[in-house]
Amino acid sequence: MEVYPGIHEISRVSNSYLVMGDEIMLIDTGMPGNSGKIIGYLKNTLKHDSQDIKTIVITHHHFDHVGSLDRLKEITGARVGVHRADADYVSGKKEQEGPAFMRIIIGLLKLIYRTKPVEADILLEDGDEIDDYQVIHTPGHTPGSICLYSPKNKVIFVGDNLRCSKGKIDGPDPRLLPEPEQFKESIKKLADLDIEVILSGHSPPITTAASEKLKEYIESLKS
């Protein structure tokens, strides 16, 4: 559905976003098997061809965000942008870290869906711009986690850095936060941004008092 003018959310385990502009940008790809849902929405609802997606940006390397990357790159021919610190995980040069049971599940899913690693075309850094969005490097959840912020429309994509629970902003589950102190420093970077909409990897959009709610959460990190 359209969650903000020109921004469409496709949900299935995690959220992917189609960002309409002079060119179409896709943010995150979801689990394996999600490509059909994304391309179907693009064609049937938005009346665009798959090749109109010119850029795919990955907020972080976790499997529920890159699971359909290889298939979508093949279908669209889009350039893939990943932060430099997560690029080796996406390309398969490094294995995703985490609990053993999660690594086993991911390994099985890779075999079932025959997913392939993908080399990034664009190695993103803090302060880069991609389309109308600024790259903000926010390590903690993963080494190369990023947010994408546009001062024009005051929208920020936060990946799994933030989630909304009962109308309040919270961070990732502590079990999914290997570097909590680094994460706190990362999120403080967002404090002074003028934000009207927060779009996350798993939660519904935050469209009311987004900046105020974010500042409340950042204040709670200091206690």
What are the residue ranges spanned by the domains of the chain? 2-221
Phi, psi of 64 (to 5 degrees): -75, 0
Specify the 3-state DSSP secondary structure of 218.
Answer: helix
**Which tokens go with 203?**
């939660």
Q: Which residues contact 205 (CB under 8 A, 6 or more apart)?
A: 3, 4, 9, 197, 198, 199
What separation in angstroms does the CA of 159 have from each of 22, 45, 70, 175? 23, 24, 19, 16
Q: From first to last of its 223 residues, what are the pLDDT tens digits of the chain? A: 999 999 999 998 899 999 999 899 999 999 999 999 999 999 999 999 999 999 999 999 998 999 999 999 999 999 999 999 999 999 989 877 766 656 666 667 777 677 899 999 999 999 999 999 999 999 999 999 999 999 999 999 999 999 988 778 999 988 888 899 999 999 999 999 999 999 999 999 999 999 999 999 999 998 6
Q: For position 103, what pLDDT does the model report?
A: 65
Which pLDDT does position 203 carry in this prediction? 94
pLDDT, residue 114, reads: 76
Q: Give residue 106's pLDDT.
A: 67
Determine the pLDDT at residue 35: 96
Contact 23, 131 (CB under 8 A): yes
Architecture of domain 2-221: 4-Layer Sandwich (3.60)
Structure confidence at residue 104 (pLDDT): 63
| Contact partners, residue 74, CB within 8 Å, separation at least 6 | none
pLDDT recorded at residue 38? 98
